[in-house]
Chain A
Amino acid sequence: MESFTRITAIAAPLMRINIDTDQIVPGKELVRVRSEGYAASLFASWRYIGEREPNPEFILNIAPWNRAQILLADRNFGCGSSREAAPMALRAWGFRAVIAPSFGGIFYNNCFRNGLLPVELAIEDVEAIASLVMASNGSRQVSVDLDAGRVSAADRTWSFDVPATLREMLLKGLDQIDLTLSRMEQIARFRERDRQVRPWAYEVARVRA
């Protein structure tokens, strides 16, 4: 698992609400990504015109934003489908963090297992960062520090929270499955008790031979 502690990088503003996972990676790309890699599918319907010609008006096709590692967005980023291709494509393209007022719940969890940090800040704060980077045409870099729970740009800083287990996992690049497997004895004790109360949850009828 890829870890994340802190980065300082260009932040690209894409200040729209409800950017759903169908926009991050369109459904028709989901089979294609397996052969061509995820980066090419990111924001495919906004990024390309015609037969995959770069759309010159889309921010991530314009320097210096094409080198951004932080994405700024409005509320409910990553709503919609559970497709893990969404955080994978953001990461493959080069993003390490997304800063937005809120995130789709499934997308939020998926980020941590793909080395991408979702940062929740109030809309006024995201807008303040977006204004700073726009005013400097991208030359004003933004820092995101997971260890300290802090975003900073120019002389301003903002604090953010991340649930402890997810934070730990990303900071150390831990494999969650290994962590859980190390608890198997405790899990077995739980199941022994639970099975007495809810046998039907464990003993599934074998309709098929």
Chain B
Amino acid sequence: MTSLSGPKTFFEKVWEQHAIVGLGDDTDLLQIDRLFLHDLSGSAAIRKLEASGRRPDSNAQVFAVIDHLVSSRPGRGPDETGSRGGGELIRDMRRLSRDYGITFFDSNDALQGIVHVVSPELGIALPGVTLVCGDSHTCTVGGVGALAWGIGASECEHVLATQTLPQVRPKTMRVNLEGELQTGVYAKDIILFLIGVIGANGGIGYAVEFAGPVIRSMPVEGRMTICNMAVEFQAKYGFVPPDDVTLAYLRGRPYAPEGEAWERAVAHWRSLSTDPDAAFDREVTINCSQIEPQVTWGTSPQQVVGIGGRIPLPEEIGDAGARDMSQRALDYIQLQAGRPIAGVPIDFAYIGSCTNARLSDLRAAADVLRGRKVADGIQAVCVPGSESVRAAAEAEGLHTVFLEAGFEWHQAACAMCSSGAADRVGGKRVISTTNRNFEGRQGPGTRTHLASPATVAASAIAGAIADVRQLVG
């Protein structure tokens, strides 16, 4: 526990502001400012609420969107699903959102998109609010300074019924990102590198503040890419406390406060910064100048290597558990230990997901694709993170760049990130801007290599995992 006075971290200030009552043993009942539901887990939660006969406690603070199950096919119908079905879940979400008076973004809404892309771009996620969703990547919106985390469907039902949630208070960690990014290196490369250093379980039990000069000079969209993958090293919470960059991003967004309310909110948000002498339970410092474009080679995000590197030999892995995992990962991914990661032939290139499908991601990929063509025999798909992102990209002609290069250009959805098009990627080797390379995550037998949008674009052109620095800069 921290003392009541004295310097505090951003996390401590926000947590304490939301603690309604201590329940003992480091557990607090927290006020929840925003609940977001999606068609896969949200429909389960809201059906449980319906079955219990209870009603939402604060429906004005609850939002719902269709993203996981809906097809990304251009011109899709409102209930059209990807290969795993689930149309009845979409219909339940629609019906119960209407019955309970929840703000709902349906599949054909111009504001629809992946939940974690939509909530900050509409100003629903705000600095210093608690925001939860039945989805582990909810930490994405820590990029605007929200305290946001993923919960299960029963916890979602708890929030629906009470707009509160009992949670065990985590420890605090600060990750200091220092140095300067090299050409061809992006937020995605930083977070993959970090996970490689501290391991896929390095953040268990921590709330992680990302800080340092690289974060301060990074636009909000990149911060969201970094926070998105906090959960990939098992930190439930990842965030960047709000600064001028955050405020400039949020001002004027549809659900953000306006006028005098905005000024009041800004004054409050500024008071949330981590105090200069505040202490963290753990500090990690990364020199970002040494990072080259990163690509994963296995089935855990910690199995990652720089594009100039090679897949480690089992005997080079010190930890017994990690060594054993690497052997199974290599069997699954069908690659030899010791070989360079560059040059591994791919079948499929995917740009999408809540990690890397915002406008800046599509621009970075388009910069690589412009005037070039996807290699023969490679399928390539781009799924913008939201319909607003798609509209903005089309307004500046990015769709033409993707289409002319040989990419498919889809409507917003989770799509191929998580079995949404398992029929297309089953058994294939995919280079992907998503966040999980787990066995079977994208489809049965699908071998996933995680990378930045620029690296995915460069690899699509080469037909094999490629170093984007040879095409740009």
Contacts and interface: CB of A to CB of B under 8 A. Distances in A.
Interface of A: 16-18, 20, 22-23, 26-28, 30-32, 45, 74-76, 79-84, 87, 102-106, 109-110, 113-114, 123, 163-166, 176-177, 180-181, 183-184, 186-187, 190-191, 194, 197-208
Contacts of B176: none
B31 A180 contact: no
Contacts of A200: 126, 257, 261, 264-265
A181 B236 CA distance: 26
Top 9 nearest A-B pairs (CB, nearest first) are A27-B419, A164-B25, A110-B152, A76-B201, A17-B321, A113-B154, A200-B257, A84-B152, A82-B150
Nearest to B44: A84
Nearest to A112: B154
Interface residues of B, number: 81
Interface of B: 17, 20-21, 23-27, 29, 31, 33, 40-41, 44, 52, 54, 58, 60-61, 69, 84-86, 89, 103, 122, 124, 126, 128-129, 134-136, 149-155, 157-158, 161-162, 164, 166-168, 170, 200-201, 204-205, 231, 234, 236, 254-258, 261, 264-265, 268, 300, 321-322, 324-325, 328, 418-419, 422, 436, 438-441, 443-444
Contacts of B154: 84, 110, 113-114
B3 to A, nearest CB: 21
A16 B325 contact: yes
Given A18-B200, A30-B40, 10 more contacts: A20-B436, A28-B422, A45-B439, A79-B201, A81-B136, A84-B41, A84-B44, A110-B152, A110-B154, A201-B126
A197 B268 CA distance: 8
A22 B436 contact: yes
A184 B152 CA distance: 22
Contacts of A123: 321
A201 B129 contact: yes
A166 B166 CA distance: 9
7 contacts: A22-B440, A28-B422, A30-B86, A74-B321, A180-B164, A198-B17, A204-B124
Report which residue of B23, B60, B328 has the largest number of chain A beta carbons within 10 angstroms of its beta carbon. Answer: B23
A209 to B, nearest CB: 11
A201 B201 contact: no
Contacts of B86: 30-31
A197 to B, nearest CB: 7
Contact of B201 (A18, A106, A163, A197): A18
B328 A205 contact: no
Given A31-B89, A207-B255, A164 B136 contact: no
A20 B40 CA distance: 18
A206 B265 CA distance: 18
A191 B152 CA distance: 25
A28 B444 contact: yes
B168 A163 contact: yes
Contact of B255 (A28, A75, A183, A204): A204
Contact of A75 (B201, B261, B328): B201
Contacts of A81: 135-136, 418, 436
A110 B165 CA distance: 13
A200 B85 CA distance: 38
Contacts of A113: 152, 154-155
B33 A177 contact: no
A198 B129 CA distance: 9
Contacts of A180: 29, 158, 161-162, 164, 166
B63 to A, nearest CB: 9
A188 to B, nearest CB: 10
Contacts of B103: 204, 207-208
B436 A176 contact: no
Contacts of A22: 436, 438-441
B440 A26 contact: yes
A165 B41 contact: no
A13 B93 CA distance: 39
A45 B44 contact: no
Contacts of A194: 17, 31
Contact of A23 (B41, B60, B204, B438): B438
A187 B20 contact: yes
Contacts of B257: 200, 205
B15 to A, nearest CB: 14
Contacts of A197: 17, 268
Contact of B325 (A17, A80, A191): A17
Given A163-B25, A198-B268, A18 B440 contact: no
Contacts of B29: 180, 183, 187
A201 B20 CA distance: 15
A165 B23 contact: yes
A177 B157 contact: yes
Contacts of A75: 201, 321
B150 A106 contact: yes
Given A23-B438, A23-B439, A76 B234 contact: yes
A27 B136 contact: no
Contacts of B128: 198
B261 A199 contact: yes
B427 to A, nearest CB: 13
Contact of A204 (B61, B153, B328): B61
B439 A207 contact: no
Nearest to B104: A208
Contacts of B136: 80-82, 106
Contacts of A28: 84, 419, 422, 440, 443-444
Nearest to A169: B166
